[in-house]
A and B are shown apart, each in its own frame.
Chain A
Amino acid sequence: MVAGRNASGMASELGSMKVTEQIDAMRALGTDPTKKLVTPRVVSTVVMMFFLTIISDLVGLTGGWICATLLLGLDSSQYWSQAYQNLVNEDVTMGLVKPLIFGFIIATVGCYYGLSTKGGTQGVGRATTQAVVAASVLILVVDFFVTRLIMAWFGSLV
């Protein structure tokens, strides 16, 4: 979801700047567009993905609690103690390391396609689509390797 929203947003914004010569203007004014446009986006996406994941996990847990108590009639304290008992370090680590990597992928892919845009407004549309596809596929592939790596780190590989 974040890849679709953010990578496309960055690609289209930077792509529009590229085709309207704003990127060239920035270079002409003595500024490095990478430092000015890419670095802040990468840093903010990585940081915010981390906190967004924490918020998402909390919302998920709360949703589970509402379903468990209202629909399934479970006891509230039983739900929370079970949830806590089933939570292991590996889950927490994996859940907090992956957003950092995914945030980096989303921002760099989005900025890369945005700054590589060619061919007017049609090019902006193309760059946006390519950014979403590339970021999504890359996240799926990297997710596989990161999961294996963290599982190996925790010695869970059978």
Chain B
Amino acid sequence: MPEASTHGAGSNGASRVVISFEDVWLSFEDNHVLRGISFELPLGETKVFFGIAGSGKSTILKLALGLMKPDKGRITVLGEEVSSMREEDLFELRRKVGMVFQESALFDSLTVEDNVAYRLREEHVPEDEIHKRVVEALEFVELAHTLKKFPSELSGGMRRRVAIARAIITKPDTILYDSPTGGLDPITSTRIIELVVKQRDVSKTSALLVTHRLQDAFTMATSYFDVKANEMRPVKPGDHRDTNTSFLILRDGKVIFDGSGPELSRTQDEYIQEYIS
């Protein structure tokens, strides 16, 4: 494990930016969802988005993936400007970015195996290799026994884990998590966060994560994945371990905080203090 501090944000000195938003504006009729959003996601970092419902957190993920277009501003993902790309050109870029949707968004008519294998089948990967990689991805989320089940036969937490398996099967450089723990019980939520941390620390992927649960974000910022023990462990005081996690808070379509965990706990902003208390 690399030695650094638990500060996370930018402390690893990563210079390569994976995702960047520059003065992005978006409105739905009279509702101004985003008002000049700017931020950068450095390589290997996980940025956690906070904000009340309707503050535009999920919209930012959809904009990053080119599923929506901004009214104004520049969005760059893996060096390509998605805000001005055509839909046909975006398909290639999306293959390098995994996304876990809020309600899993698994295909109802396909089995778990077919859902996870979807992208590989589209890329015409040979069937034996597909099966091998699907089992591998499902083992990562500890759901290898659900291969032949349909999404309707799974619990909410299992569906989220299948969605994570579907997102990581192509070993993407970046993953976007849209409220992966939303509506789940605390135990299942912790299990999902453990998978996110595992993905962060084992595969070193960069990620944007939207959540309402502060506890999840703080768990991410203060925990690491122990590969030998195959479990998530808290970073001990004095242990200079970089958890590569930073925080971004949205309010009224604007970024009111973008920084590390310690910076967040030191902030004097009343709204933020109330939010995190």
Contact = CB atoms under 8 A, between A and B. Distances in A.
Interface of A: 16-17, 20-22, 24-32
Contacts of A31: 91, 118, 122
Nearest to A29: B119
A21 B101 contact: yes
18 contacts: A20-B103, A21-B102, A22-B106, A24-B62, A24-B101, A25-B105, A25-B106, A27-B67, A27-B87, A27-B94, A28-B65, A28-B97, A29-B94, A29-B122, A29-B166, A30-B94, A30-B122, A32-B87
B119 to A, nearest CB: 5
Interface residues of B, number: 22
A32 B62 CA distance: 16
Main secondary structure of the interface of A (DSSP, over half): helix
Given A27-B87, A31-B118, 9 more contacts: A16-B108, A20-B103, A20-B108, A21-B101, A22-B105, A27-B65, A28-B94, A31-B122, A32-B88
Contacts of B101: 21, 24-25, 28
Contact of A21 (B88, B91, B105, B119): B105
Given A29-B118, A29-B119, A24 B91 contact: no
Interface in B189-211: none
- Most chain B CB within a 10 A radius of its CB, from A17, A21, A24, A29: A29
Contacts of B99: 25, 28
A9 B88 CA distance: 28
Contacts of A16: 108
Contacts of A20: 103, 105, 108
B65 A22 contact: no
B95 interface: yes
